[in-house]
Structure 1
Amino acid sequence: MRLLVAALDAELVAFPAELPGFDRLVTGPGKLQGAVALTRALQAADYEEIVVVGTAGAIDARLDADVYEIGAAIQHDVTDIDGIVGQHVSLPSRIDLEREGVTIATGDHFVDDAEAVAVIRPLGAGLVDMETYAYAWVAREFGVPIRVIKSVSDRAQDGAITDWHAAVSACSVQLRDRIRELYAV
């Protein structure tokens, strides 16, 4: 059995209520809610794989409004004791997901302005979201393989939240179609 994970119900609107071979988990937005909900789910059952789907903002202009596999996760909203952005005091600065793909920068706020993007982009990420790093860290702690698939909903610039609201349903359709391709469900 696999665990299908999303932060928000809106990201799963195009998915059937029951997906053969998958349990479903909606964690709520942000790193803490994501980490707690996934930890509880992994304590309650054994899964062969965690499959995360959701939306992301594109901060790399070369990334089109498409669906991307995530290869690594970093945090953009932390600094270490020396003030280095992207470095946590005790957590790894980067978690590799053992797959080819885009690097995503996770933080506990919705990125929607050019100034924030200018700070995040040099960290080496192409996408931003609010949960992936936490999901990847929990999965690694439990020794469960994780696959993260993100659909670009916005450009993380001014007005991005309006773009997200307009795009989330279409992104859910793209994500559902990708899951059908990958898992023949």
Structure 2
Amino acid sequence: MKLLVAALASELQAFPAELPGFDRLVTGPGKLMAAVGLTRALDAHLAEQYEEIVVVGTAGAVSDDVESGIYDVAAAIQHDVQDLDGVIGQHVSLPTRVETGRVGVTIATGDIFVDDADATARIRSLGGVLVDMETFALVWVAQQFGVPIRVLRVVSDRAQDGATQVWDEVVAACSAQLWAHVQREYEV
């Protein structure tokens, strides 16, 4: 059994309510809700551990080199933390980077909806090409439980001025793209 995870129900709106071979989890937005939601789900299934966590959802592009489409995430960093020396992207107790074990892009996670040029420039300087609010936490929790994780993010916006309005308009299309991709990848 696999676990299908999204932050928001709207990101799963194109998916059927019941998907053979998958349990479903909607965590809520942000790192804390993602961490708590996934921890509870994995803790409840310790006896019959999930074979894989499949995360789907939207992300903003912070690099002009990133086109529209769906991306596998290879690694996640945090753009909204700093260590005791004030180094942005370094946490005082968590790793700087977590990896999924897959080939793909680096996503920058933070509890901020990024929609301005200054923030995107800062995130690019840390090595991120996409931005979201949950991936770092989800990958870190999956690692703590020893469960493989795959993160699929579809570009919903350019993470620039006005991205909040654009995201509301395109989430249904993003969900449909993700559902088509999951159908192909997992033959469901």
TM-score by length of 2: 0.97
- The whole-number CA distance in structure 2 between the counterparts of 1:60 and 1:179 is 25
Q: Which residue of 2 aligns with 1:40?
A: 40
Matching residue of 1:13: 13
- 1:115 positional shift: 1.2
User: CA-atom RMSD, angstroms?
Assistant: 0.5
Residues of 1 paired with 2:9 and 2:99: CA distance?
Answer: 27
Matched, 1:180 2:183: yes
Pairing 1:137-148 to 2, within 5 Å after superposition: 137-148=140-151
Give matches, 1:93-132, under 5 Å.
Answer: 93-132=96-135
- d(CA) in 1 for partners of 2:149 and 2:14? 22
Count residues in correspondence.
185
- Quote the Cα distance in structure 1 between the aligned partners of 2:67 and 2:172: 17
In the TM superposition, what whole-angstrom CA distance separates every residue of 1:112-164 from its partner, at most 9, and x where no partner exists? 11111111111001100000000000000000000000000000000001110
Structure 2: state its 5+ residue gaps: none
**Is 1:56 aligned to 2:59, yes or no?**
yes
**Where does structure 1 lack aligned partners over 5 or more consecutive residues?**
none
Distance 1:129 1:8 in 2: 12
Moved over 4 A (4+): none
Matches of 2:122 and 2:72, distance apart in 1 = 23
* DSSP 3-state at the match of 1:11: helix
Deviates more, 1:145-154 or 1:113-122: 113-122
The yes-or-no answer on 1:67 pairing with 2:70 is yes
1: CA distance between counterparts of 2:52 and 2:177?
A: 21
Identity %: 66
Q: For each residue in 1:21-59, what CA deviation from the matched residue of structure 2 results, as whole angstroms up to 9, or x when unmatched?
A: 000000000000000000000001121100000000000
Which whole-Å CA distance do the structure 1 matches of 2:83 and 2:70 have between them?
A: 32
1:155 equivalenced with 2:165 (yes/no): no
SS of 1:92's equivalent in the other structure is coil
